[in-house]
Amino acid sequence: MICRSSLTQQNLEDGLKFILHSPFTFINNARLFATAAHGATGQKRKYTGEPYIHHPLCVASLVFMATGDVITTAAALLHDVVEDTQITLPDIRREFGDDIAGLVGSLTDVSRPEDGNRAARKAIDRAHIAQADPRAKSVKLADLIDNTRTIVAYDREFAMVYLAEKALLLKVLKDGNRTLLTRAKKTLKNGSEALSRPIEGHAHE
């Protein structure tokens, strides 16, 4: 598994090592819980086919190396569990307590298909995270960093829509971790620049 971001590869590897061998029981429990929850659905990363847990692990590595906060790191491991699996927020609260459950709740999209088109739903979800604890916003920034590079690399057409949405999202994440905010801005800038370049082999078509 390779986590990509503007953090150095060594930093990310150090963060991942901490998460995989954490001295904190609740970090290990969160990792195992998320692995089981995503694994039970057979969920894979859309573009790479990797087990989905690779994404929360990369997000959590980014969060830990930027913040050093173990509660936020645990929430990062769990950030997609309620949205993508059969696990509920009461399940998270029972297993991990109110603080982590609150962060996961803030990171879970609240829009529904009946709320309108994609733009309308994204606006609802931005308003939801805008009210969140800064720690949840830090996880959201790490999520953006990890997803952006994959989407730009594998789906240029969708990436144009995605980058515009994330530029709007950044406006409500400004009180997240400063390091992650700076890196998120740089990741979006790099993504936009990559899309502006012709695809290799097609420059003269």
Q: Please state, in angstroms and as integers, the Cα–Cα distance from residue 19 to each residue in 25, 49, 50, 68, following that order.
A: 11, 22, 19, 11
User: d(Cα 50, Cα 79) in Å, to the nearest integer?
Assistant: 18
What the block records as the tokens of 129 is 């995270």
- Going by C-alpha positions, the residue among 200, 87, 191 that lies closest to residue 148 is 191
Q: CB neighbours (10 Å) of residue 104?
A: 27
Q: Please, are residues 96 and 29 in contact by the beta-carbon 8 Å criterion?
A: yes
Q: Which residues are catalytic?
A: 83-84
Q: CB neighbours (10 Å) of residue 160?
A: 14
What the block records as the tokens of 24 is 């904190």
